[in-house]
Structure 1
């Protein structure tokens, strides 16, 4: 899937904000969560997400999804990572 197709899919799925994120070598973020659903396409490098104690690495061309409120850790791969990410706000209960 190319970036244009990915952006079109995000818009179709009601992701309002789409941004490009770059994380350099050595980037790590301790456990946290977001108040929005996230869906990202890796464009360079790789990122590892740890959810529920399970580490999954995503490389170029792969997509990860994180529902709002999902506790996770993240770290960039040995060459850093860039990705295109959509954020979809979640209505408060």
Structure 2
């Protein structure tokens, strides 16, 4: 998905203005959750999200969606990751 289409979809879904998030290369976050729903478009790099026993890899153009309070862990690729995130 491209950035314009993603931003339009966020607006249609009632998300406020998205923010750009950048994470360092080869870093990780242990299991955690957010009090908000998150939908994000990968702009650069790689992001691995693990929910339970399943891990998914996201690359530029991919979109991930996490409901509020979804426990997950994150791992960032060798070049880190930058994504455009909507949160509500």
Shorter-chain TM-score tier: over 0.9
- Could you tell me which residue of structure 1 aligns to residue 85 of structure 2? 85
> Where does structure 1 lack aligned partners over 5 or more consecutive residues?
89-93
> Where does structure 2 lack aligned partners over 5 or more consecutive residues?
none
1:22 pairs with 2:22: yes
Q: Which has the larger radius of gyration?
A: 1
Q: Secondary structure at the match of 2:47?
A: strand
Q: Distance in 1 between matches of 2:74 and 2:17?
A: 21
- Could you tell me which residue of structure 1 aligns to residue 31 of structure 2? 31
Residue-by-residue CA offset, 1:50-79 (whole Å, 9 max, x unaligned):
001211110110000000010000010111
- Could you tell me which residue of structure 1 aligns to residue 51 of structure 2? 51
Number of equivalenced pairs: 88
Q: Distance in 1 between matches of 2:82 and 2:9?
A: 19
TM-score by length of 2: 0.94
* Superposed structure 1 runs of 4+ greater than 2 Å apart: none
RMSD over aligned CA atoms reads 0.9
